[in-house]
Amino acid sequence: MTLRLATLLAALCAATVSHADSLPKPGDYYLISRDHAGKFLGSHKLFKHKSTGMKQVTYCGNAYFVRDSSVAWTELEAEFGHIVHVEFNFGKGWRPICANPEREVTRADLGITRDAREVLAGVSTEPSPANRLAAIGAMFRTSVFEDSKSGLGM
């Protein structure tokens, strides 16, 4: 029994260490969605250096690199009525530095013609059964989420 517990604890520690790199650090920039009371709803990281699959964008005069899904996400968050800002982690909290990023960079600006939900679901322009199911699932999850917020959901 003790060996199982030790193994479980080691696995949990290893998992924690592997995810520590993805935690926000002072100096990081994020697209952050909040409700009208300022409560955090979600985020996507902005990068200052180019990496595979990222595109350069400009928010409020500052250059960043983003994934297509981040731009699609900002559009959906705004569509849901959430407040989206570019925010800077200054070590003691978050400081909004750019309002309405969904207006500054759009899917069209990046040459993306797919619906934002399809982009977030990872649907390629090549129709395949797996991608169609992912898109259907993403649209259903979004609909259920919105219905539950209005009191109509499960």
Supply the pTM of this predicted model: 0.67
Which residue has 């569509």 as its token pair?
79
- Using 50, 70 and 90 to split pLDDT, how confident is the model at 23? confident
Give dist(CA 89, CA 95) in Å, integer.
Answer: 6
| Tokens (6 digits) for 40 | 């955090």
Structure tokens at 42: 């979600």
Domain presence at residue 35: yes
Residue 35 and residue 101 share a domain = yes
- If one counts the domains in the chain, the total is 2
From 113, 120, 114, 154, select the one nearest 137 (Cα to Cα): 120
Task: Report if residue 6 sits inside a domain.
Answer: no
| Euclidean distance between CA atoms 113 and 119, whole angstroms | 9
Buried b or exposed e, range 100-136, using 16+ CB within 10 angstroms = ebbebbbbeebebebbbbbbbbebeeeeeeebeebbe
Domain that holds residue 53: 27-112
User: pLDDT of 45-87, one tens digit each?
Assistant: 999 999 999 999 999 999 999 999 999 999 999 999 999 999 9
Both 48 and 105 in one domain: the answer is yes
- Measured over all CA atoms, what is the biggest interatomic distance in the chain, rounded to whole angstroms? 58
Are residue 124 and residue 50 in the same domain, yes or no?
no
Is the CB of residue 83 less than 8 Å from the CB of residue 74? no
Same domain, residue pair 73 and 107: yes
- Do 123 and 140 fall into the same domain? yes
pLDDT in tens, 119-150: 999 865 544 455 555 555 655 555 444 444 44
- 76 and 108, same domain (yes or no): yes
Rounded to whole angstroms, the Cα distance separating 38 from 79 reads 17
* pLDDT score, position 118: 93
Same domain as 122, residue 108: no
Same domain, residue pair 98 and 127: no
Sign of CA dihedral 96, 101, 24, 64: negative
